[in-house]
Structure formats: structure tokens, C-alpha cells
Structure 1
Amino acid sequence: MDRLDHIQPADAVSLLDVTDMSQLRAIFESRVYNLDQRTVYFPIRHHSPACSHHLLRVIREYKPDLILIEGPESGNSLIPVLTDEKTLPPVSLYYTYEDEYGREACYYPMLRYSPEYVALKEAHRLGIPAQFIDLDYRHVSRRAGSSAEQEQKEISIQDETLLAGSAFISRLCQKTNCRSFDELWEKVFEIGGLEKTTSEFVQDVFMYCTLSRMCYTQERLIASGDLLREAHMARRIKEAEEQYQRVLVITGGFHTYGLVTSTGQEVEQEKEKSTPQVKADSGEAQQQMYPMVYTFAEADRLNGYASGMPYVNFYDQIWDQLVHSAKSPYRVTTLNVISRLMRKLRDREEHVSTSDAIEAYRLIQGLAELRGKQEGGVYELMDAALSSLVKGELTIATDKPLQELQLLLTGDAIGSVAPHAFHIPIVEDFKSRCTAFKLQIRTTGQHKKVLDLYAKPEHRLISQLFQCISYLVPEFAKRQAGPDWIAQRDMNLVRETWEYMYSSRIEARLIENSLYGGTLATAATRKMEEQMQDIPDHHSGDLAQLMLQALLMGLQETALHLYAKVRAALRTDGHFLSLCNSLTILNRIHQHRRLLGLSDDPYLPELVSEAYSNAVDKLQQLSRTHADEHEGIVQGLKLLAMLAESSEERFQNTSFRTHLNELLSDPKLPAQLEGVCIAIASGLGDRRREEIVERARGYIRGGPVQMRQTALFLQGVFTVARDAFLYEDQLLFELNGLIEQLSYDDFIAMVPELRLAFTYFTPMETNLIAERVAKLHHVNSNEMLIPALDEQLLVQYKTQDEALRKEFAAWKLI
């Protein structure tokens, strides 16, 4: 099927209720594409090389006085930036607005071969004025779904969902054996369209898009905002006709029929009747539009972008061939892609040969002929690669050639925008700092950076930059390995590993953060100040963590401003765990003060001392705490004990020991906390070592309730003093006696807590305990290594034993 004429009119009539196909052709010839008229309409599919190819012919032949383009009107002031020689697509206009309903944003991307961009560049070259004539997004925004869904959705005003998803297109794909609208479009327009005259090509685009449009009701087109946009564009076209003799109008093909047949009056009437899902300009709104970089990956429709064509890099190469008037552009491009694919696969030691490549190229040509195409396109290329390069069944292990092909077809290019008066300072600061540290922001894909924090000052600065950007734009970089200061994990590591990836989404998020300041540091500081206001005054731990985060970002001045807030919070914070969290953070900051840029700070030691004293003063609360808090309290007590044992003078007071002894005298002290307290007190020399065993004996030989608390008491002891069990026999004897006297059900109930208690021992220590247990029971230690019998087998043996006993009893044999 090379021409729309090959579609049977009866099929279209039955499907769409179109009364006369000739009527559409008459509209096309008289009102759409008549070069003798004052206004010529050129319908397009967004980001189509074939459309751009024929568009250049139309501009040369028609010689318009003005070119009108479907695009947001607020972007007209940015056209000189887009047409500047230093602007290299892919680029995008980023539009954002905020009104009483909330905040929304959308993208208006342009590739090198997008018809809109080609028209702008050609108009600039010829000195022809060009204008965008479409409504800004806020006038047609559909606030459907939750706000969370809206925030996560990347919106494009060039949405082609209605075109690609119409019943007409679906039926046509079935009749032509095309797997998707994209494959149908490539066959009829991208490849087949190169052999047609421009008039034939434009007619086919108009007819396809119009028949798709006729699948939808008036209400559906109003709800989508299409009719409102068309009414606005029609007014702009009429205004242009009053000033210019020859006007060329470039819009999506879905809108062309509406522009040439609708007066716009009925649209306004229907809009007044309908529920205002589609809004006109109602009330004040703050709006901004910026030119920004874009990427091939983001422009690829397969990645979720709502308009345009997939396989962006492939069609960019096709455009190169068309610009240079190359014959057989698809043959040349598919051959180039196969060659590059083979090199990449060989570099990755995939088993491919030259004969595989020859076979793939031969298959492309054969499939093209079989499918009625002049040349093989991207779909023939993918089918040929699947057949020739994937050996056997397609699995995760064998799909590497297809993965690499997908990357080649999509591409990793990032555009650049010429210097302009609309630049955003925070974006410029981001780019200059990334460039200074040689971070890769000129190509897409994941990049890795390993930083030696302690040995290289420059690496510390890069780490601060990553921390700062991640605070503002979490999507940019992720720490994959290294010390996690906030979660307090892996603090023994000295290297950080970061993975980062740049895209237009990063730039968009930076633009949103420009409300906070013109540099990364200023924006992070103001955002942190805003976050600080949401933290209650007595939450010292949260404020201390914020202070640590500021230091990790290199915002030492911001951290210093937090000192007073942290000190005030320490004095009003009455929660032991919160104070211990503050103490942990502040003490870690003090220990790594040189790395964090606070080597000469005189106030930090005072803050650590105050946090320590306040935490010690809250020890009396521990008898009334919930079991869920006990694990955190144990860690807090260990921290206080460690500081009390240190040589630093500010921790050398008797308060901690005094309060600890008072706790041990409290009969309501939970068992786990009693275990850790007696272990700490004996370690400090304030209590006899034997008291650990005596208190354990009190649980082991106590009543049923006390006996069940034994494992929790041991957990507390083993947290601090494993040696009390490793090298002294008395506690082992007592625990052995407990296990011997327990019933089966009581033992099973206690096993989980006992297992948890013994997780504090290393494997070597566990082996030592096993040897002592073997000696206690007068068996060889090797017998302890014999695997236990399966429980089901034991039950089976027990059942058989009982049956035998009954049988013997019946025969009076026992």
C-alpha cells in the first residue's frame, strides 16, 4: 500500500461514517494545499524526517511571507535562541506555571529533523518571520488523577495519542499486517513518501490524520483540548492573513481539518456547556518558559514520551542522508547501523561473525521486498538482527545483540543551547561546576565516579557537589558505595562510589529549584532553611542530622548557623533516644571535623558535651520505655559507656555511673536493659563481675515470667560483655541447667530469643562455646558437628515407637 487511494473507500465509510471520500479530497485541493491561495496548510507528524524533507520543498516553492507553527505562543521570544547557530538539537522549551489549582509543567522538544525546528531554521536562513500560534499548556491542562500522578508524569503538548490510537489506524494496521502505527507510518510515509511528489505526500498525511480524527466525537475533542487549541490557532491565522499575502501554516495533521472547516464559534459554545475539564484563562497564574537541552533517550516515544517517533538516532541518520540528497538513504543507514553494531558486539566479546552481518543485511532487503517497501527500514533491521544475530531461542542470556541494537537506534546525544538572556543562573552554576570537575554531562547513560575522600582534597569537593545536587535533584546521582553518614553505615570505608546521569529532567528540576537561589549552594541553603522550619524545636536529632547534611554538602556557614538551634533543641529535648541520636551525630562530626572543614571550630566540643550531659540526665526514663525502643536504647547506652571510658576530660564525670547504678536498683528495669547496664557497670569497675551471673541466676531460677525473660537479659549482656560467657563457666552452667529443666514447649518458645542472643558471637567464638558445651556433657566436640535429625523424621520414629509399645503391651511383652 503506497497510496491512500489503495484503501477501499467502503472500509473507511463503514468504519468512520464518512459520506464521501471525494469531499475530503476537494477540501484538501481547495483549502489545504493550494499554492495559489493566500494560506497554505502543511499537516505533519511531529518529529518526522519525511515531513521535514517535503516541508523544505514547499517553503522553496511557495515562498511564504510568514510561517505559522503549532507551538506555545509564550515561546515566541525564544525563537532567536532556537535558531542560533550555537543551539544544537535535541533541545526543548520547558514551560511551567502555577495557579490556584497547583503547579504543572510540560516539554516542547525539537530534534534536528522535527518539522517545526526545520521550519524555524529555514525561516531564519531566508529572513522570513516565523511565529508559534498555539495556546500555552495551562489553558488546556487536564488535571485528572491525583497530584502525585501529575508530578511524576512527563507531559508533552505534542501528544499524538488520539492519532496513533484511533480505530481507523487500528483497522489499517490489521489490513496491512503492520504491528504498530509506527511501522505503518514508516512504510507509507517515511520510506514510501520519499518516492511521492510533495502534493501526493501532503494529501496522504492529511487524509490519514483526518480519518483518524473522525473516529472521535465532538465531546471527546473538546475534553482533550484539541478544539479549544484549534479555535485559538484559527484566530491567529486569520490575523496573519490580514497582514501578509502568503502564509504557511504548519500544524499536526490531526488539527488541519479542524483549522480549515471550523469557525471556532461552536467550540466556544460547547466549551461553555461542558464541564470545565478544559480551562480557559481563569485567574492569575505565574508562568515561565525556558530553552533547555534535551536528549535522544527522552525524545524516544518508546521511553514514554507521548509524541513523535521511536528510534530517534536512526531517523537522525536518515535525516543526514536526506539533507545530503543521498540515494537510498535507508539502505545506507541500515548498513551503517549493522557495522556499528558488529563492532560493539565484538568489543564485548559476543560471538558474531562477518557472515552474520552479511546475512542480516541480505534479510533486510528481502523483508523489504516481501513487505512491499522500496527499502528496508528500522523494523526490517530489527527483524533481521533477531534472525541473524540471536542464535537459537531468545532469552536473557542471548538478547545482548538486540539490547545493543536498541541503544544504537535510540542514541545517547544531548543537545546544547546557545548563550542567551533567558539563562537560569542555577543551571549555569551546575554546568560550570560539573565541567570544572570533568563530570560527564554531554552524553546520556550512567557514569561512575570513585572518590578517595581522605587522600585527595579535590575528591572531597566533588563529593560535596554530588551531595548538594542530590539534595536538590535526587535523580542526578546515587551513592553506590562508601560511608553513609546519614544512615551511619559503612563508616570504616574511605572511598565513595557515585553513579550519575544527566538529562533534561535534571535541568528541569534545577529550574524548579531556581526559586531558592541562583547557585547550588544558595538554593540548598534556602531549601534547608525552609526544611528547618518544619522541624519541631525539641527534635534535636533531626536538627543535628540537618547540620551534618549541610557539612556534607560543603555548606559550613549554614552548619554554623544551625549551632544555636541544635543547642536550644538539646535543652528542650526530653527523649533519651533523640538525645543519643544527636550525640552520635555530633560526636561523629567532631571526630571527622577536618574532613568536614571544621578543624578550628571551638563551639563543636561544647555542643558534644551538652548532648552527652543531657542524654545522661534522661537515664532514669529507661524503666518506663516500650520494648520497641530497647534496641535503640542499648546502642545509646553503649555510646555513653564508650565516651565515659574515653580519655577526654569533658566525659570524665560521675553522673553516668551514678545514674547507671540507680537504674540497676530499679526493679522495673526491663531485662534486656538490665543486662546491658550490669555489663557496662562491671566493665567500668563499679560492679562485681559475679553480679552478672547472680542476676542471670535470678531470671533462670525465678518464676515462669522471670524465666522467660532470661534470653532478653542475655541479649543485653552479650551486647557489651561477651567474655562473661566465653571464658567463665558459671554462666554457662546456669544456662545449661535452664535448658535441661525446660519443658519441650517452653524450650521451643524461648529458642528465637536465645538464637538472637547468640548472634552477637563471631563464628570462631561460637565454635569455642560448642567445645565447652561438649566438655560439659562429656562428649567429643566433633559430635557437635553431626547434623541434627530432620524433625519430620523424628516425629515418624516417635509414632512408630509408640505403635510398637502398644503392640508389645497387648501381647504382654513389656
Structure 2
Amino acid sequence: MSVHLFGIRHHGPGSARALAVALAELKPDLILVEGPPEADELVALAADEGLRPPVALLVYGTQEAEKSAAFWPFAVFSPEWQAIRYAVAQDVPLRFCDLPAAYKLGPRVAKPELDEEHFDPIAGLAEAAGYEDAERWWEDVIEHRSDGLSPFEAVAEAMTAVREQHPGIRYDLIREAYMRQVLRAALKQGHERIAVVCGAWHVPALAEPLPSAGADAALLKGLPKVAVSATWVPWTHGRLAHWTGYGAGVASPGWYHHLFHAADRPVHRWLVRVAGVLREQDIPVSSAHVIEAVRLAQTLAVLRGRPLPGLAELTEATRSVLCEGDETRLALVQSRVVVGELLGEVPPDTPAVPLARDVAAAQKRLRMPPQALARDLDLDLRKPLDLERSKLLHRLRLLAVPWGQPQERRAGKGTFWESWQLAWQPEFAVDLIVASAFGTTVAGAAAAKVAETAAEADLPGVTELLEACLLADLAEAQPAVLDALNRCAAMDTDVVHLMSAIPALARTLRYGDVRGTGVDALIPVLSGLVTRVQLGLPGALSGLDDEAAKALAHALDQVQEAVRLLTDRLELRDEWLATLLGLVDRPDVTGLVGGRMLRILRDEGRLSADEVQIRLARTLSVGVPSATAAAVVEGFIGGGGLVLVHDEALLGLIDRWLSELAADSFTDVLPLLRRTFATFAAPERRTIGQRVRNLGGATARSGSEQDDLAGLDLDRVAMVLPTLKLLLGSQSE
């Protein structure tokens, strides 16, 4: 009987190549690999060509109170993956020998003790070798080796020396005690050649002579367990770069993938690949560029005493030669090549919760394969396929699986279009497991979660849920949300809260027909909310501080937009504007809110331009404090600068008020007005400036306007006027 210990670095291409050679020479009859024993039954799936790395073993708690999870990721250049592939190809039994995840996910061993600091053995060895960078030392010694010699004896010797000074933290000692128990059991079963593939740090703890079995049992005694299940899930190179679940993250998975596959002339092949990526973006890169980049990388390696150019040298050569110093181009290379985003695949018969299977089936049915790289998707909701895609994305967002992120509309105009950005993350597998507590299908789980959330949400939250139900087509959840909405509306006395609930309801009612969903039940709810707002608004206007005034002014805009949106469907506009008209002249109304109401009434035609000017002139008179007047101006013009462009008398009124302010008052109000004017579009600000410059110079202005109009063909202008009246909604003849 013999035990062969292969100390590797997780995700190390040099370790992976050396291990593949060593296993072929040894021909073991049993392979033990550092990993969760709960996944032993999943090893056979590695023989399926549909299981393509990067993938990860996912072990998760199955009880509601134990919704924790852990991942063990593998890339094609991971030594453990090479061991698994050898085992299934040669029909050699393989077992995982690390501490079971049932213990790891338990409360007492999930993390190392807080007062214990984990020693980095690679950093210690690199320092002893005179290297400042541990990654560079490991690459030079292990990953870049091409002489075919096995590194495992040297690694074991080095780790033994290190562990004499740093025996390990308690968490490592517990794991190693379990590994030794698995090893002893394998020896008792009579296996002749046992290959143990584990992190190099653990090799000394598994070498002969082993501690007594009783000592190991004492370390493991009393550890709490949780119920768990295991499966394979797709992983990505990007997550390999950032994943630090067991200290195995690598910063350049694309580079390591290249090193594993390109044993012959890796430097040349790498730079050729970089050049190809740049050319795809129409960046001119010639073969001469590649040749010079190779020379520069090799020269840098010689100057630094490295056996082969590493990623640092190749990056500098890429920046200087291929990218010509452009950091934007280098960032593209970093994303596409150095990280080399890649999403793995798992076969259809991989164990999964029913909800995850339903998502996978929907992705296939709707032709939306998950991808690691972000991609844009424009949906036309008039098309059945796009409508179903939209429903799926909205339902997943309700389940806290944000596969799609809504974007500003790019394609087409109108309510029939949606724009999304899709990027699948491996962690969504865990999110789906957590969400499976609500149901076995996406629609059922989303509806159940919405109903549960609505029971505890406040009024704005409930209205957002109601809108989400529309977008996700969850008609079965609407009754529960409507009940919650009625309850919240009846109990909420905050007028601003009531007002903030109206816009979402209005959008739901207005755009329901776009998706073919019935929303008539919302009509009495929305009408009741608007009525309550009208009754409560008079009492909410007085005694407001600055923040409360801003919130109320914003809420007025929201309600006004909602009422305007539903003009052709509900008779709310007249009563709403009548309420504002009855309040706008109250002396206790805060300036910001009064100015906002005045602007709404002017835009809706309830106050003429002369009536507005009279009120503003009264406000901007000498007897009114400058701060109050400035607040009214901010509220009035905060809705957009076009009113100043088209109403010269109003512009002159505000200009005279500013011109007549005392120096100290002008200094006080200037920041407020500057903030307001900063919200205007650049053309608006430019036009207002031109208008102000011409104020007081009527002759010059008239001449300028006459010059502008002199070249117009009045007959052709007359042909445009009917269409212009239609567009502007003018009723005059």
C-alpha cells in the first residue's frame, strides 16, 4: 500500500499539467480530492460532455432556517478538475476528502476564529526567495515550468519547513483531522495506490506518521451539522478572479487558461490573441506590432531575471506597443483576454430545485441563453415572444434574481418598448434556491413572494408592488396587493405618502392595456386616493421646513403628471386643479410650494399669463423677503426654462427683481437660483441669456427678429399652421 500526496495550488495551470502527468504514471486505484464529500455522487456527471468548466460544486442548506451555501469552483486549468476528468476517463473511484459542508455551514466552523490570522505560505516562501510579489514567485517556480519535472516533492519539502514555524489555525486543523480519517478508511479498504490531491499547505499534515485516530476524533467531536444538498452550477472566469471562498481566487483566469493550453510558445500566442481582440474593435494592429511586443516582453523578463515573460511583462508590452499607451484599449484587453469572461455549462439532468429547472426551461423556450458578458436586449411588447421575455425578467426581479437590469429606452418610442441589459451571475443559483421556498415555478413563486411582501409594506411600497404585478403579469397576486393597498391608504394620514402612491397606480392603470392585463379594479382605488389627497392637502401646506417643502413640491409634480396621464380615462383633472386654485393664494403657503402650484395652474391654462404675472409681481415686490421671493421663483421656473423663453414679460419681471436686489440679498439668493437654472437644458439656458441681453433694447430686438423672418415664404408658412395647431392642441382659429 502506498499514499502519494500531490500538493497543488487551486486554479494553477502548472500544477494541473504536472498532476495530469503524475496520475498517468502512477495509475492510482483511488483518488482523494480536497472538496465536499456531499458531492461524491456528482463526480460521474463529469463524464458528460455537457458539463463544461468553469463550473462549481454548490452545497446549500435545505432547511428554511439554514439557507446558507458554499461554492467549490473549478476551471479547466484547476488541478482538481484534471483529477476528476482522469477518474471518470479511467474508471477510477474518486472521493472528496475535505471537511463535509454539513459541518462547514454549521455555526461554529463556518469561519476561522476571529483572533486567528491565517498565514500565507506562498508569500512566506516568496519572501525567503527574495521576491516581493508572491504571485510572481509562484509563477516562476511552478506555473511557467516547461521542463516536465514534477514539482510535488519540492513543494512538500517547502511546506513542511514552513509548517514547522506556522502549524496552522484551528479551522485548518479540524479540516486536516477529517482528511486523515478519510485516508485511514481508504487504507483499511485495501487500496494499493492512493493519490491525494490537496492544497500544498495540507501536505505535511497528511504525511506519515499520522497522529492517532483518537486525537483526530477528539477534534471533530461535537461539531454541529446542517442538512445540505449538492449540485453542479455554471461558473464564470470573472468569478474565479474575485472568488475568495477558500483563498483560491486568481486575478487573471484568462492568462492561466492560456498557460494551460498553450505549452508551446505561450508568449507569442498570447500577444497574437491580444492583437486579434484589438482588431475586432477596428484598432489597427499589424504583425510588426506583435513582433515588437514579443521582443519587449522578453527583454523585460531578462532584465528582471525571470525565466519567461509573465503577465506583468506582457501587460507592459501590450500597453506600450499594441495599445500605444491608451489605457482604454488596455482595459478592453484586461476584460476580454486577461480575465477572458467565460460561462460554464451543466447538463440538463444535473440535480436542481424545481424553480431552477423552470427558469432553465423558460430560458430555452424564450431563446434567452444565460451569458456571462453583459448584453443589451430591446423588447417590443406587441410581439408575443418579447412580451413573455419581459414577464420572465420582471418576475425574476421580484424573486431577487436581477438577471436583467432595466435600461433607458433605446429602441423605438412609446410604451410598447422595453430595454434591458442581461448578465448571468453564478450566485443566481443560490438566489433561486432561496426563492424556491415560495414555489416551484417562476410565476407561482413571484406571486407568493409579492403577496407576502405586500402584507408588511408601507403605502408607497405596496403601490410599487402593484405596478410590478402588472409588469410581471401576476394577476393572481393583485387581490392581496389591493387589500394591502386599501389597508395602508385607510391608515396612512401623511399626505405626501398618499401622493407618492398615486404615480405608480396611474402608470399601472394607463399602461395595463399595453400588456393585455385587466386593471379596472384600480379605478376606484386611485380615485379614492386623489380625493383623500385633495381633502388633506390644505392642512399639509403650512408650517413646512425646507426639506418638507421640497418633498411636497415634488409630490405635487408627481400627482399632476399622474392626473394628466389619465385625462382621457378618469375625470380627475378639473377637481384637482380646482383644489390647487383654491390654495395658491393662501398667505401661509411656503414659497417653493406656492411657486410650484402657480406653475402647474399656468401650464394647465387655469391662470392666464397676466394673472400669473400679477401674482409674481406681488411676490417679487420690495416688501417681500428676498429668500421667500427666491423660493417662489424656484418653485415656478423649476419645471423647465421654456416659460422664460416664450414669456418676455415674465423674464423681464424676474430680471428687474434680481437687478434691484441689495448686494447682500443678491448673494443670499444666487446659489438657489443657480441651482435652479442648472437644471435647464443647455439650449434653454443659452436662449434665456440671449433674451436677457436684448431686454430693454426693443428696437434692436425687433430688427433682429425681422431679419430672421425676412427670408420666410409666407405661403409655405400658412401650409404648416394647421398641423402646428394640431400638435400644440390649439383650439383657436
Q: State the TM-score, normalized to the length of structure 2.
A: 0.80
Give matches, 1:196-207, under 5 Å: 196=149, 198=150, 201-207=151-157
Counterpart for residue 376 of structure 2? 448
Match of 2:388 among 461, 475, 486: 461
Give matches, 1:267-346, under 5 Å: 282-283=223-224, 285-300=226-241, 306-307=247-248, 311-320=252-261, 329-331=263-265, 333-346=266-279
Deviations 1:637-669 (A, max 9, x none): 456667499865853697546644653574423
Counterpart for residue 538 of structure 2? 620
Match of 2:201 among 254, 266, 269: 254
1:46 equivalent in alignment to 2:5: no
Give matches, 1:380-391, under 5 Å: 381-382=314-315, 385=318, 389=322, 391=324
* Displacement of 1:354: 1.8
- Secondary structure of the residue aligned to 1:88 is coil
Residue identity opposite 2:110 in structure 1: S
- Secondary structure of the residue aligned to 1:71 is coil
Counterpart for residue 105 of structure 2? 138
- Secondary structure of the residue aligned to 1:426 is helix
Deviations 1:190-211 (A, max 9, x none): 4446432x5xx33112113323
Q: Note closer, same or farther for the CA distance 1:694–1:381 as it changes in structure 2 (3 Å cut).
A: closer
Match of 1:116 among 73, 80, 86: 80
1:105 equivalent in alignment to 2:60: no
Counterpart for residue 484 of structure 2? 565
Q: Note closer, same or farther for the CA distance 1:385–1:210 as it changes in structure 2 (3 Å cut).
A: farther
* Displacement of 1:234: 0.9
Counterpart for residue 404 of structure 2? 477
Q: Note closer, same or farther for the CA distance 1:774–1:292 as it changes in structure 2 (3 Å cut).
A: same
* Displacement of 1:613: 1.5
2: distance between equivalents of 1:370 and 1:138?
Answer: 48
Q: Note closer, same or farther for the CA distance 1:629–1:117 as it changes in structure 2 (3 Å cut).
A: same
Counterpart for residue 812 of structure 1? none
Task: Give the alignment's Cα RMSD to 1 decimal.
Answer: 4.4
Counterpart for residue 415 of structure 1? 344
Match of 1:528 among 446, 450, 460: 450
1:514 equivalent in alignment to 2:436: yes
Counterpart for residue 603 of structure 1? 521
* Displacement of 1:255: 0.9
Residue identity opposite 2:240 in structure 1: A
Counterpart for residue 235 of structure 1? 181
- Secondary structure of the residue aligned to 1:530 is helix
1: distance between equivalents of 2:564 and 2:242?
Answer: 62
- Secondary structure of the residue aligned to 1:106 is strand
Give matches, 1:487-506, under 5 Å: 495-506=417-428
CA contact (8 A) 1:535 1:543 kept: yes
* Displacement of 1:282: 4.3
- Secondary structure of the residue aligned to 1:509 is helix
Give matches, 1:13-28, under 5 Å: none
2: distance between equivalents of 1:134 and 1:335?
Answer: 40
Deviations 1:332-362 (A, max 9, x none): x444333333333333333432233334445
Deviations 1:572-605 (A, max 9, x none): 332222222222222222221212432x443222
1: distance between equivalents of 2:605 and 2:317?
Answer: 79
1:71 equivalent in alignment to 2:35: yes
Counterpart for residue 720 of structure 2? none
Residue identity opposite 1:212 in structure 2: V
Deviations 1:605-661 (A, max 9, x none): 222222222221212223335232334434544566674998658536975466446
Counterpart for residue 333 of structure 2? 404
* Displacement of 1:681: 6.2
CA contact (8 A) 2:462 2:484 kept: yes
Counterpart for residue 576 of structure 1? 495
Q: Note closer, same or farther for the CA distance 1:585–1:385 as it changes in structure 2 (3 Å cut).
A: closer
1:263 equivalent in alignment to 2:211: yes
Deviations 1:359-417 (A, max 9, x none): 444566777788888876666655654665455xx4526xx368527733443332222
* Displacement of 1:753: 4.6
1: distance between equivalents of 2:349 and 2:647?
Answer: 78
2: distance between equivalents of 1:621 and 1:366?
Answer: 79
Residue identity opposite 1:439 in structure 2: M
2: distance between equivalents of 1:732 and 1:122?
Answer: 81
CA contact (8 A) 1:301 1:310 kept: yes
Give matches, 1:674-689, under 5 Å: 674-677=594-597
- Secondary structure of the residue aligned to 2:264 is helix
User: How many residues were matched structurally?
Assistant: 691
2: distance between equivalents of 1:752 and 1:736?
Answer: 16
Residue identity opposite 2:347 in structure 1: A
CA contact (8 A) 1:297 1:303 kept: no
Give matches, 1:661-810, under 5 Å: 662-663=582-583, 666-677=586-597, 692-701=612-621, 703=623, 705=625, 708-718=627-637, 742-753=661-672, 762-763=684-685, 766=688, 770=692, 773-775=695-697
Match of 2:365 among 436, 459, 466: 436
Residue identity opposite 2:236 in structure 1: T
* Displacement of 1:571: 3.0
Q: Percent of pairs identical after alignment? A: 21
* Displacement of 1:281: 5.3
Residue identity opposite 1:188 in structure 2: V
Counterpart for residue 571 of structure 2? 651
* Displacement of 1:554: 3.1
1:358 equivalent in alignment to 2:288: no
Match of 1:82 among 39, 46, 65: 46
Counterpart for residue 169 of structure 1? 126
CA contact (8 A) 2:567 2:573 kept: no
CA contact (8 A) 1:47 1:110 kept: yes
- Secondary structure of the residue aligned to 1:263 is coil
Residue identity opposite 2:179 in structure 1: M
Larger radius of gyration: 1
1: distance between equivalents of 2:431 and 2:52?
Answer: 21
1: distance between equivalents of 2:577 and 2:305?
Answer: 90
Q: Note closer, same or farther for the CA distance 1:94–1:742 as it changes in structure 2 (3 Å cut).
A: same
* Displacement of 1:492: 6.4
1:210 equivalent in alignment to 2:137: no
Q: Note closer, same or farther for the CA distance 1:630–1:193 as it changes in structure 2 (3 Å cut).
A: same
- Secondary structure of the residue aligned to 1:618 is helix
Q: Note closer, same or farther for the CA distance 1:339–1:646 as it changes in structure 2 (3 Å cut).
A: closer
Q: Note closer, same or farther for the CA distance 1:352–1:635 as it changes in structure 2 (3 Å cut).
A: closer
2: distance between equivalents of 1:371 and 1:226?
Answer: 36
2: distance between equivalents of 1:683 and 1:373?
Answer: 73
Q: Note closer, same or farther for the CA distance 1:64–1:501 as it changes in structure 2 (3 Å cut).
A: same
2: distance between equivalents of 1:556 and 1:577?
Answer: 28
Counterpart for residue 184 of structure 1? 137
Residue identity opposite 1:468 in structure 2: R
